[in-house]
Amino acid sequence: MPTLASHRKSRTRSGVGTNSPAVGVTTAAIASVTLLSTQGAAAAPAEPNPSVEEVQKKVDDLYRQAGSATQQYNKAKTATAKQKSTVDRVRDNVAKSADKLNEARRTLGSYAATQYREGTVAPTAALIFADSPQSFLEQKEVTDRLAERRQGAVADFQSQQADLARQRERATESLESLADSQTSLRTSKETVQKKLAEARTLLTRLTSEERARLAALERKKEDEARREAEAKSKAAAHAAARAAERERQERQERRERQEQPSAAGPESPAATGAGTTGTGTTGTDAGAGTAGATGSTAGGAAGGAAGGTPSSAGSAYATKAAKVLAFARAQIGKPYVWGASGPSSYDCSGLTQAAWKVAGVELPRTTWDQANTGTRVATDGLLPGDLVFFYDDVSHVGIYIGDGMMIHAPKPGANVREESIYYMPIHGSVRPA
């Protein structure tokens, strides 16, 4: 008998048929949501491109950060080289100590072997079996010397063993310090490369017109800094001229005051007094005048002598500075390369270090250490050859050449050049020698 089940429509497992209207509604809803999402994303406002001024500020900041990281790299590189030298020296000492220990071990072994072969004889038995008391004494003396040597060998072995342990401990510490410096070196290098890559990315996004405008902004900034340097140099020259004129006038007034007492008028007591008395008085006045003149001359000579020492010191510094500036000028046009110290390229502190080395002065490698070398000087007291440092983090340095100008290795993509010290915020200055 046929069953009714054969006439039922098949259904899906979810209970909704393949031709159910719900499927169409769901598909349409999904499509609508997708379309709206796409339209929303397309309608979202794009992030505006930065202006050329903003790019310039960002790039300058990245270069400054890269400069600071470069100094950290230079510091780590110097420490790494020094610690590697220490590690090599300690390793040599460990090898020497190990050789000494092995020699002490061999000596101790030979004594032990001798004692084993000869055996240990009690003093009473040795006396009994000795040919004579004299022979016993001689044998005892030999035995005592051997015992002392064995004790010395044991003490020497123990000393060498302790020394080797200390040397190995130093080697371990040196290796750990070297590993730390190498880690800092890698980190600093990565930081520099990252900052420079970010700066390059910003610059490559600029159009040709924007690059031209950026170059114009750079020139404007340089011109403004140069004008400021010239204005301050002129102001300093005028101030020096005024001071020199005041000093000249004061000297003239002092000479006039000194000459006044010797100019006796016709109504003066000296002219109307008795001959002898008058002569004596006049003589006394003349003597006083002569003494005054002599004192003035002596004072001038003393002043010249006192001024001679600073002048000599200034002359010695000027001689060294001349060598520094001659070297620095010869490097103009060579490229800035971070971490470089010559001879084909430089970073800022690499240039200053190389320049002062020519004058016989060994400067440290980093701007931070160079800023703590020599004598601090004020900006208005700068002399050619002085080092000028920039930014709060002391990440840049240049060599002062006079009139508000310096020679420095500026930044990546630029060459060693002359530039105003007012192009960047000044941190401080030092006179290295």
- Is there a single domain that holds both residue 202 and residue 72? yes
- Is there a single domain that holds both residue 321 and residue 198? no
CA 287/CA 265 separation, integer angstroms: 18
Choosing from 7, 238, 348, 427, the catalytic residue is 348
Catalytic site residue 427? no
Q: Residue 331: which domain range?
A: 317-431
Its pTM stands at: 0.59
pLDDT in tens, 302-312: 333 333 334 55
Tokens of 212: 């031209």
In this prediction, residue 116 carries a pLDDT of 56
Tell me, yes or no, whether 379 lies in a domain: yes
Query: Could you tell me the CA-to-CA distances from 335 to 47, 65, 134, 224, 323 in Å, in that order?
Result: 36, 19, 91, 24, 21
In this prediction, residue 295 carries a pLDDT of 38
Catalytic site residue 7? no
Tell me, yes or no, whether 45 lies in a domain: no
Q: In DSSP terms, which residues pair with 431 in a beta bridge?
A: 375
CA 80/CA 86 separation, integer angstroms: 10
Tell me, yes or no, whether 245 lies in a domain: no
Q: In DSSP terms, which residues pair with 387 in a beta bridge?
A: 399, 430
Task: Give me the helices (H) in 331-420, please.
Answer: 348-358, 367-370
Which residue, of 151, 181, 206, is where some domain finishes?
Answer: 206
Tell me, yes or no, whether 19 lies in a domain: no
Give the CATH number of the domain where residue 173 resides: 1.10.287
Per-residue pLDDT of the chain (433 residues; tens, 9 = 90+): 444 444 444 444 444 344 444 444 444 444 444 444 444 444 445 556 778 888 888 988 999 999 999 999 999 999 888 888 877 777 777 777 677 667 767 766 665 666 555 555 555 555 455 555 666 555 656 566 666 666 666 777 777 778 778 878 877 887 888 888 889 889 999 999 999 999 989 888 888 888 898 888 888 888 888 888 888 777 777 787 888 888 888 888 888 888 876 555 555 444 444 444 444 444 444 333 333 333 333 333 333 333 333 455 678 999 999 999 999 999 999 999 999 999 999 999 999 999 999 999 999 999 999 999 999 999 989 999 999 999 999 999 999 999 999 999 999 989 999 999 999 999 999 999 8
Whose tokens are 């004598």? That residue is 375
SS3 content of the chain, % helix, strand, coil (to 5): 70, 10, 20
Give the count of domains, the chain: 2
Tell me, yes or no, whether 77 lies in a domain: yes
Catalytic site residue 396? yes
CA 183/CA 187 separation, integer angstroms: 6
- Is there a single domain that holds both residue 60 and residue 194? yes
Q: What is the DSSP string of 166-218?
A: HHHHHHHHHHHHHHHHHHHHHHHHHHHHHHHHHHHHHHHTS-HHHHHHHHHHH
CA 111/CA 156 separation, integer angstroms: 13
Tokens of 276: 């002898």
Tell me, yes or no, whether 393 lies in a domain: yes
Count, residues in the chain: 433
CA 73/CA 184 separation, integer angstroms: 7
- Is there a single domain that holds both residue 202 and residue 346? no
- Is there a single domain that holds both residue 345 and residue 202? no
In this prediction, residue 170 carries a pLDDT of 77
Which residue, of 156, 171, 206, is where some domain finishes?
Answer: 206
Half-sphere exposure of 68 (CA within 13 A, CB side): 11
Tell me, yes or no, whether 127 lies in a domain: yes
Choosing from 7, 238, 396, 427, the catalytic residue is 396
In this prediction, residue 135 carries a pLDDT of 62
Tell me, yes or no, whether 271 lies in a domain: no
- Is there a single domain that holds both residue 200 and residue 341? no
Sheet with 417-420, edge to edge strand ranges: 375-377, 426-431, 387-390, 396-402, 405-408, 417-420
CA 225/CA 423 separation, integer angstroms: 5
Which residue, of 161, 191, 206, is where some domain finishes?
Answer: 206
- Is there a single domain that holds both residue 56 and residue 180? yes
Give the CATH number of the domain where residue 409 resides: 3.90.1720.10
